[in-house]
């Protein structure tokens, strides 16, 4: 009797899917760097992250809370180039330059926290749905459908409105709205991989379900999640800034969306700086992650449909 464990197919299956992935990374790196738009995105990302990281060095942090805009009540709505305020001030004397720099930090906090939560929750739920199938899958997917039936911004708007204006509530609102995409992606991936050969082979060997999951399913499903997460890093900030623009962030916070809305009333009188510079930053941030994420998607999953 031939020992099943000796057959070549099983030998291949026994080799960790992770190692296969790792080997592909080098190829990945090359493909990524060959695309100019992707590289542009990467450079922008590095720029944004640097601003966020070095914020305390670029401008003197405000006391006691550096995330609060410093207000100079004697210099209200002064134009760019004024002494002490290179990019001008807002209608309450907030320094626009400070807002640009620390706003990057705020954006980083926002996107990292939200993406972390949504990925963990979404991947978990999606995996459960995909793996279990049947009733559990049906129920979970109905819930996902309900969440998806309301357009994202409007849903986040309603939630944040109800919770009240604060940074924490924006995080919550975005997390509640954005986890569903990951659930869907993960579920589709799990189902797809479930039917794949090497998983069957592993089952034949007798690996536990959990082991199969972590060794084979997860690594093979992870790429669309990574792509989506990258894109979301940009989009979370975009939607978050929109919520803040509408008025759902806390008073005086150094956040790009708030600055744009504060500057809005002055536009008809020619005070363009308080809105233009922060808005530009939102654009660049979203652009950075979209460019890079796009390039990543082209390389990793050319055929997969990840939603915007």
**Interface with another protein (CB under 8 A):** 37, 63-64, 71, 73-74, 76, 91-93, 142, 145-146, 149-155, 157-165, 234, 238, 241-242, 245-248, 250-252, 257, 260-261, 264-272, 275-276, 279-280, 282-283, 286-287, 289-291, 294, 307-308
- For residues 227 and 292, is the Cβ–Cβ distance under 8 A? no
Between 52 and 238, name the residue whose CB sits nearer to another protein. 238
Least CB distance to another protein at residue 252 (A): 6
Tell me how far, at minimum, the Cβ of 148 lies from another protein, in Å.
Answer: 9
8-state DSSP, 79: P
Closest CA to 48 of 291, 294, 281: 281
Q: Largest alpha-carbon pair distance within the chain?
A: 91
Residue 157 φ/ψ, nearest 5 degrees: -60, -50
Choose between 202 and 288: whose C-beta lies nearer to another protein: 288
Nearest to 224 by CA among 107, 130, 113: 130
Please answer whether residues 248 and 161 qualify as being in contact, where contact means their C-beta atoms are separated by less than 8 angstroms. yes
Cα separation of 46 and 159, whole Å? 32
Shortest reach from residue 46's CB to another protein, in Å:
17
Closer CB to another protein, 124 or 264, in the complex: 264
Q: Residue 68: helix, strand or coil by DSSP? A: strand
In whole angstroms, the minimum distance from the beta carbon of 79 to another protein comes to: 8
**SS3 label, residue 265:** coil
Residue closer to another protein, measured from CB, 105 or 184: 184
Nearest distance in Å: CB 247, another protein: 5
Q: Residue 89 phi/psi, 5° resolution?
A: -130, 165
Least distance (Å) from another protein to the CB of residue 197?
21
Q: How far is CA 104 from CA 39, 132, 246, in A?
A: 21, 41, 19
Closer to another protein by CB, 20 or 154: give it. 154
Closer to another protein by CB, 1 or 63: give it: 63
Q: Select 202 or 306, whichever has its Cβ closest to another protein.
A: 306
> Is 192 or 209 the residue whose CB approaches another protein more closely?
192
The CA-atom distances, in angstroms, between 79 and each of 91, 92, 274 are 11, 13, 9
Query: In the complex, what is the shortest distance from the CB of residue 265 to another protein, in angstroms, rounded to a whole number?
Result: 5
- Asked if 48 and 237 touch (Cβ cutoff 8 Å), the reply is no
For residues 115-144, b (16+ Cβ closer than 10 Å) or e, as one string?
Answer: bebbbebbbebbbbbbbeeeeebeebbeeb
Q: How far is the CB of 109 from another protein (least distance, A)?
A: 18
Rounded least distance, CB 55 to another protein, Å: 20
Instruction: Name which of 220 and 275 has its Cβ closer to another protein.
Output: 275
What is the C-alpha separation between 210 and 189, in angstroms, rounded? 16
């Amino acid at each position: 009797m031939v020992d099943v464990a000796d057959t070549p197919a099983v030998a291949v299956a026994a080799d960790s899917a992770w190692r296969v992935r790792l080997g592909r990374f080098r190829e990945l790196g090359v493909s990524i760097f060959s695309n100019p738009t992707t590289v542009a995105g990467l450079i922008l990302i590095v720029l944004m992250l640097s601003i966020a990281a070095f914020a305390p060095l670029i401008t003197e942090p405000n006391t006691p809370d550096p995330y609060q805009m410093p207000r100079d009540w004697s210099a209200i709505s002064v134009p760019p180039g004024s002494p002490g305020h290179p990019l001008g001030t807002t209608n309450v004397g907030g320094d626009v330059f400070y807002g640009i720099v620390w706003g990057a930090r705020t954006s980083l906090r926002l996107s990292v926290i939200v993406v972390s939560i949504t990925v963990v929750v979404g991947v978990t739920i999606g995996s459960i749905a995909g793996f279990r199938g049947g009733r559990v899958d049906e129920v979970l997917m109905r819930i996902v459908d309900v969440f998806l039936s309301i357009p994202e911004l409007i849903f986040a708007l309603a939630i944040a409105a109800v919770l009240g204006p604060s940074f924490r509530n924006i995080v919550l609102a975005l997390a509640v709205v954005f986890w569903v995409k990951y659930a869907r992606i993960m579920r589709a991936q799990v189902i797809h991989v479930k039917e794949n050969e090497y998983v069957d082979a592993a089952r034949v060997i007798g690996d536990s379900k959990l082991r199969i999951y972590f060794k084979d399913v997860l690594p093979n499903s992870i790429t669309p999640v990574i792509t989506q997460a990258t894109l979301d890093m940009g989009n979370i900030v975009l939607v978050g800034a929109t919520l803040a623009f509408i008025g759902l962030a806390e008073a005086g916070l150094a956040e790009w969306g708030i600055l744009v809305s504060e500057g809005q009333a002055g536009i008809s009188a020619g005070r363009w700086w308080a809105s233009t510079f922060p808005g530009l930053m939102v654009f660049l941030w979203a652009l950075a992650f979209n460019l890079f994420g796009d390039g990543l998607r082209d390389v990793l999953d050319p055929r997969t449909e990840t939603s915007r």
